[in-house]
Amino acid sequence: MQSVIGRHCHGHRRIFNMTELKPCPFCGSNDLCPDYEDRGSLDEYVSWINCGNCGVDGPLSKWENSYKEAESAAIRVWNKRVNNGG
CA distances from 28 to 31, 36, 47, 79 (A): 9, 22, 21, 13
What is the pTM assigned to this prediction? 0.71
Distance, CA of 69 to CA of 85 (rounded, Å): 32
pLDDT digits (tens, 9 = 90+) for 20-35: 889 999 999 988 888 8
Distance, CA of 86 to CA of 65 (rounded, Å): 38
Domain residue spans in the chain?
2-79
Q: Please classify residue 34 by burial: count the beta carbons closer than 10 Å to its beta carbon, then call 0-12 exposed, 13-18 middle and 19+ buried.
A: buried
Q: Quick one: pLDDT at residue 70?
A: 87
